[in-house]
Amino acid sequence: MKVVLVDDHPLIRKGLSQALNKAEISVIGEASSLSEGAALLNSSTPDICIVDLNLGSASGIELIKVGVVQNPNCAFVVLTMEDDLDTLITAKSAGARAYITKGSPIENLIEVINTVLKDPKNFIKLGSFKDSAKRTDFGLTERELEVLQLLSTGATASTMGSILFLSEATIKSHLAAIYRKLKAANRAQAVSIAISEKLIIQ
């Protein structure tokens, strides 16, 4: 697996590179700006591009828009401090395949990278997000919202456990709580309610 990193903070790039290489994920290039990132994608064929949204005076969103056309076989994974749902939706619309806040453990990022390559059709988000729009949250915890988002991708309890570093039994406990709080009889009904109430991003 080949990965490129686009982030304007050299220490973050260094830390990510070391962690990914330790996990036997090859980092084949780094960039600190929109122009450098575009040039890197033009001169290489990565499987994954991990991109921050804040690239100095430019936005990582623009790189994603260019990159999905320039390098359609590359999956773009956003790793950022931006934690509002509007920005997440914009990144997804631009072509991002996953969105992770920088407070998430590096192990989660590695698992998401592996999952994105195995399941290219689904969008993955991890982290705590702010939503300016008023909505009913049904008393769901942040962890339950993460499980609910993964539930909408069709992931099994085992897969969700791997991504969130939880046991399958714990995931099933969260699912039971989600069904109870949403008054849903099954997975399909829970996802339907979650979509209509804007609890998850599709």
Q: Which of 107, 131, 155 is the last residue of a domain?
A: 131
Answer yes or no: do 35 and 53 share one domain.
yes
Q: Is 146 exposed, middle or buried (0-12, 13-18, 19+ CB in 10 A)?
A: buried
Tell me, what CATH number does 120's domain have? Answer: 3.40.50.2300
Tell me, what CATH number does 141's domain have? Answer: 1.10.10.10
Answer yes or no: do 200 and 112 share one domain.
no
Answer yes or no: do 70 and 99 share one domain.
yes
pLDDT in tens, the chain (202 residues): 899 999 999 999 999 999 999 999 999 999 999 999 999 999 999 999 999 998 988 899 999 999 999 888 999 999 998 888 888 989 999 999 999 988 888 888 998 998 888 877 789 888 877 765 545 678 888 889 889 989 988 889 999 999 998 999 999 999 999 999 999 989 888 988 888 887 887 6
Answer yes or no: do 117 and 162 share one domain.
no
DSSP-derived secondary structure for 74-102: PEEEEEES--BHHHHHHHHHHT-SEEEET
Q: Give the pair of three-digit tokens for residue 60.
A: 């990582």
Answer yes or no: do 13 and 33 share one domain.
yes
Distance (Å, whole) CA 71 – CA 88: 21
The pTM is what? 0.70
Answer yes or no: do 110 and 146 share one domain.
no
DSSP-based three-state secondary structure for 137 = coil
Domain that holds residue 201: 134-202
